[in-house]
Amino acid sequence: MEPLELSFTVACPPEHAFAVWATRTSMWWPHGHSVSAAPGLTVTFEPRPGGRIYERTPAGEEHEWGEVLVWKPPHRLVYLWHLRFDRADATEVEIRFAPERADAATTAVTIVHRGWERLGARAPERRERNRRGWDGLVPHFRAACAA
């Protein structure tokens, strides 16, 4: 099954775009795109291969979302992704951040979300659900990068 591929630009240098995605996620990630949907939750990417990706509610509950596979700031981030699902059903997300021009005032962001084939018959529905999720998420990220 084909990967989901998204490409767009953000109005900031790659260093800032990577940081907003991976270390300031809580400031832009909509709480409705989480396990708990708790207002005020925090999202953490532990900054290393093998690092956890998780949400923590204000009450202290933690919910696993994935695992960092590649952490190469400011250009590349790859992780296993299983938000709301068992880790055995994880897909893989790769995000690249590249300067769009020599002045690096804008960044080209490319997201490739793959691994659907491991889900068997559930793959088409899960892929479509994630496509809609990305469509709802990317505008929040772009706004946070421009802020």
What is d(CA 103, CA 134) in angstroms, rounded to the nearest whole number?
28
pTM for the full predicted model:
0.94
Residue 119 lies in a domain: yes
Task: Name the domain count of the chain.
Answer: 1
CATH code for the domain in which residue 82 is found: 3.30.530.20
Question: For 91-141, what is each residue's pLDDT tens digit?
Answer: 999 999 999 877 778 999 999 999 999 999 999 999 999 999 999 999 999
> Where in the sequence is the domain holding 12, given as residue range(s)?
4-28+68-146
What is the b/e burial string over 68-83, where b = at least 16 CB atoms within 10 angstroms of the residue's CB?
beebeebeebbbbbbb
Question: Is the residue at 57 inside a domain?
Answer: no
pLDDT digits (tens, 9 = 90+) for 22-56: 999 999 999 888 899 999 999 999 999 999 999 99
Report the SS3 class of residue 36: coil
> Looking at the domain assignment, is residue 82 inside a domain?
yes
Q: How far is the C-alpha of 117 from the C-alpha of 94, rounded, in Å?
A: 16
Q: Is residue 36 part of a domain?
A: no
State the Cα–Cα distance between residues 11 and 13, nearest whole angstrom.
Answer: 7
Structural domain contains residue 11: yes
